[in-house]
Amino acid sequence: MEETPHEVRTFRTGNEEETRDLAARLSRLLVPGDVLLLAGELGTGKTCFVKGLAEGLGVQEKVLSPTFTLLREYRGRVPLYHLDAYRLKGPEDLFDLGLEEYLGGEGILAVEWGDRVRGFFKEEYLEVEISFAGETDERRIRLLPGGSSWERRLRRLDGGDP
C-alpha cells in the first residue's frame, strides 16, 4: 500500500455544501500568489470546491466551470483565477498561455485537472484530490501540501480524519 505522509489531511463530505464549506475554511489560509491544483475524476466536485473558495474570498459573481473558456477571473478580497487544464496535454501547454502573469502575484490560482500540469509549477502549491467515496454524494478530499509552508498552514485547519 502507498505510504501517506502524515502531513496529508483527509476529509469526508456528505454533500456539495460540505465540500464548499471545507473550501471556504481553507480559503482563510490563502495568501496572494497561492496555487491550488485540483485533481479528481469527472464530476467529483472540483468546480464545487472552487465555488467554496470563491465564497470564502468574498467573490460576488457566480462561479462557472471554465472548461470552455480555460481561464476565468473573479474579483474577491484578492483576485481568484480559475483555470481548467482538462484540454491541455501537459505542462508545456501552460507556457503558451502566458500564465506567468497570474503567478506569484496578487491573486490565487485554482487549477482543475491540475495534476496534469503539476510539472509547470516550480513554486509551492497545495494539491486537492477529490474522489468518490461510498454513497453517491460522499467524497473523500485529501489536501496534500507541496512545500513546507503548506504543511504548516494545514495544521491550522480543524476537522478531518485522524
Ligand X SMILES: Nc1ncnc2c1ncn2[C@@H]1O[C@H](COP(=O)(O)OP(=O)(O)OP(=O)(O)O)[C@@H](O)[C@H]1O
**Residue ranges that bind ligand X, judged by CB under 6 A:** 13, 15-16, 18-19, 40, 42-48, 65, 112, 137, 139
Residue 55 class from Cβ within 10 Å (0-12 exposed, 13-18 middle, 19+ buried)? middle
Q: What are phi and psi of 99, to 5 degrees?
A: -70, -15
How many other CB atoms are found less than 10 A from the CB of residue 97? 15
Question: Looking at beta carbons only, is 33 or 118 nearer to ligand X?
Answer: 118
Nearer to ligand X, 12 or 105 (CB): 12
| Dihedral angle computed from the Cα positions of residues 68, 74, 80 and 84, in that order, rounded to the nearest 10 degrees | 0
Rounded least distance, CB 19 to ligand X, Å: 3
In the bound state with ligand X, the residue whose beta carbon lies nearer, of 65 and 149, is: 65
Q: Indicate the residue type of 117.
A: V
Choose the one of ligand X, Mg ion, none that binds residue 88, judging by a C-beta under 5 to 8 angstroms depending on kind.
none
Q: In angstroms, what is the minimal distance from the CB of 162 to Mg ion?
A: 30
Q: How far is the CB of 123 from ligand X (least distance, A)?
A: 24
Query: Residue type at 40?
Result: G
